[in-house]
Amino acid sequence: MEPVFQNETIKGILSRYRRIWAINHAQSVLGWDMEVNMPKEGILERSVAQGELSVLSQEFILKPDFIELVEKAKGLELNEYERGVVRVLDREIRISKAFPPEFLREVSEVTSQATKAWEEAKKGDDFSKFEPWLDKIIDLAKRAADYLGYEDEPYDALLDLYEEGLRTKEVVGMFDELERELRPLIEKIMEEGKVPREHPLEKEKYEKEQMERVNLWILQKFGFPLGVRSRLDVSAHPFTTEFGIRDVRITTRYEGYDFRRTILSTVHEFGHALYELQQDERFMFSPIAGGVSLGIHESQSRFWENIIGRSKEFAGLIYPVLKENLPFMANYTPEDVYLYFNLVRPDLIRTEADVVTYNLHILLRFKLERMMLNEGVKARDLPELWNEEMERLLGIRPKTYAEGILQDIHWAHGTVGYFPTYSIGTLLAAQYYYHIKRDLNVEELIAQGNFEPIKAWLREKIHRWGSIYPPKELLKKAIGEELDPEYFIRWVKERYL
C-alpha cells in the first residue's frame, strides 16, 4: 500500500508530532499502570507526573513554529488523510489555546480534592462533604465553556469537547424522542413479562479463575490477539487503553457473583479495543490513528455488548463453556442465560441499569448538567432535583445520596457534558445492527462463533478511517445517514416485546 502522507508540509508536521505522540504514549502507560498495578499511595506522585506530562504535551502543541506549520497546511491542496491531520491538530490547538495555564492548574487541584471529598461523602452517605466542591466544579465548568466559546448555550462548548460537532439542541431532540417512546415501552415490557425482572443466576457465586477461563475463551473466539497485541487484566472499573495500534489493553472485574457482569464488561471493552486494533497501520504515530470521538467509541463497545453479547445466539454459543466451568450451570438452560442477560427492571444505579432503562439515567444527568450550566442551579438543590427526576422517569426514588446524586465519579473529576456520549453509543449500536443485517446474517454468524465477517464489516465501514472525519461525516460515510434513535426503539420492541 502506498503511504498516505505525501505532502512535505504534512510530513514536517508529523515528524514534530511524534514527540507529542510519545508523551501521549507514556501517559497511556502510566494511566494503565495506575489502574492495574500501582499501590494505593502511589497516587500522589503519579498524578503529579501525569500533570507535568500534560503540560509538556501542551507546550509542544502550542509551539509557535508548530502552529505556523498547521496554519500553512490549511491553505494547501491535500488528500483526505492529510486534511484529517490538519483538522485534528487545528482542533487540539484551539482547545489548548483556550485555557490559560493557571485555569488548568486550578482544575487539576480542585478535581483531585473534589474526588477525595466525593469518596468520603459517598462512603458516609453525607452530601454536605461534597456540596462545596460540586459548586466549585460547576463554576469551573461555566468558566471552561466561556473560554471555549459557544453559539447557543454554554453546554454546547462542553459537549463539543467530548463529541466533536454535537450540539445541545440535537441532544434535547434525541432525549425527547427517547423519553416519549421509552417510558410507555418500559411499562409494557414489565406488563408482558417476556423478559423477567429477576433471575436466580444473579445470585450464583463463582471463583475468579472459573470466569477468567470463560472470558479468555470468549476473547479467543472473537480473535482478540492476546499476548501478541493485547492483554486482559483486572481493575476496579473496566476500561480499554491503547498505547498504539499494536498494543491495546482491556480490563475486566470479578465480583464473585452475578457472572454476566464480568462477561458483558469483557465483551464491551473488546468492542472498544477492536476499534483501535483495526486502525490503518499507515496512520501509526499520527494524530488520525485512533477512534474519533467518545460517542463513536462507545457505539463500538455497545455493539459488541448489546447486539452480540446479549443475543440468543451468543447465549447458545457460550453455554457449553459456562457449563464446563460453573457447576451450578447444570441447573440452567441456554434460554436461562439469554433471559438473565436481558432482564429489564428500573434500578437506581446507572451502571447496574438494563439496556432499556439505561438511556433514562443519562437523560436525567443531561438535564441536571444543563441546569447547572445554563440556569444557575446550585449544588444544594441537586439531590432533590435528582430524586424527583428519577421518580418521574423510572418510578423509583433514592433513599440515600449514595444511590442518588453521589453515585457517579464523573462530576468529581470535573467531567461535565460527557454523559450524552453513552447514549449516543447505545443508539448507534442498534443503528449499525440494522445496516449490517443487510449485508450479513449476523445471528447465524454469532451462532457459529464466526466473528470475522462482522469484524471486517466494522473495519471497512468505521475502524479503518481512524479520526480522518469528524463523527457526523464518518457516520454519513459508514452508513449513509445521521444518528437516528428510531433504530434503537425498533430494536427494543423487537427484542423485549
Interacting residues toward Mg ion by CB under 5 A? 301
Using the minimum distance from each CB to Mg ion, give the nearer residue, 293 or 301. Answer: 301
Cell of 468: 480522518
Nearer to Mg ion (CB atom), residue 266 or residue 301: 301
C-alpha–C-alpha distance, residues 309 and 259, integer Å: 13
Residues in Cβ contact with 280 at an 8 Å cutoff, skipping those fewer than 6 apart: 4, 289, 464, 465, 466
462: closest CA among 445, 481, 475? 475
In 37-174, DSSP assigns E strands to: none
Q: Which residues neighbour 272 within 8 Å (Cβ) at sequence distance 6 or greater?
A: 240, 250, 291, 297, 298, 300, 301
Instruction: Work out how close the CB of 63 gets to Mg ion at its nearest, in angstroms, rounded to a whole number.
Output: 33
C-alpha cell at 184: 410507555
3-state SS assignment for residue 323: helix
Please say whether the beta carbons of 53 and 27 come within 8 A: yes
Q: How far apart are CA 175 and CA 423, in angstroms?
A: 9
The cell numbers describing 318, all together, are 457460550
Nearest to Mg ion of 87, 272 (CB atom):
272
**C-beta of 341: minimal distance to Mg ion in Å?**
18
Residue 281 class from Cβ within 10 Å (0-12 exposed, 13-18 middle, 19+ buried)? Answer: exposed
User: Distance between CA 378 and CA 368 in Å, rounded?
Assistant: 10
Q: Contact at 8 Å (CB) between 488 and 427?
A: yes
3-state secondary structure of 362: helix
Name every residue whose Cβ is closer than 8 Å to that of residue 471 and which is 6 or more positions away in sequence.
163, 164, 165, 166, 292, 293, 295, 296
Position closest to Mg ion via CB: 301
Our CB check for Mg ion shows the closer of 24 and 265 to be 265
Rg (CA), the chain: 23
Question: Of 269, 276, 305, 369, which one is the catalytic site residue?
Answer: 269
Taking the least distance from each CB to Mg ion, the nearer of 401 and 418 is 418
Least CB distance from residue 497 to Mg ion, whole Å? Answer: 27
Q: Quote the longest CA-to-CA distance of the chain.
A: 68
* 467, 279 contact by CB (below 8 A): no
Cα distances from 352 to residues 213, 347, 381, 408, in angstroms, run: 24, 7, 25, 12
CB nearer Mg ion, residue 87 or residue 249: 249
CB of residue 358 to Mg ion, shortest distance in Å: 12
Q: How far is the CB of 425 from Mg ion (least distance, A)?
A: 7
Q: State yes or no: is 269 an active-site residue.
A: yes
Q: 237 vs 392, which CB is nearer to Mg ion? A: 237
Strand partners, 240: 250
- Kindly state the smallest distance separating residue 252's Cβ from Mg ion, in Å: 12
Torsion of CA 116, 117, 122, 128, to 10 degrees: 180
Minimum CB distance to Mg ion, residue 349 (Å): 16
Which three three-digit cell numbers place residue 243? 498505547
Hunting for cell 417510558 — which residue is that? 183
Helix axes 420-439, 294-302, angle to 10 degrees: 50
The catalytic site residues sit at: 269
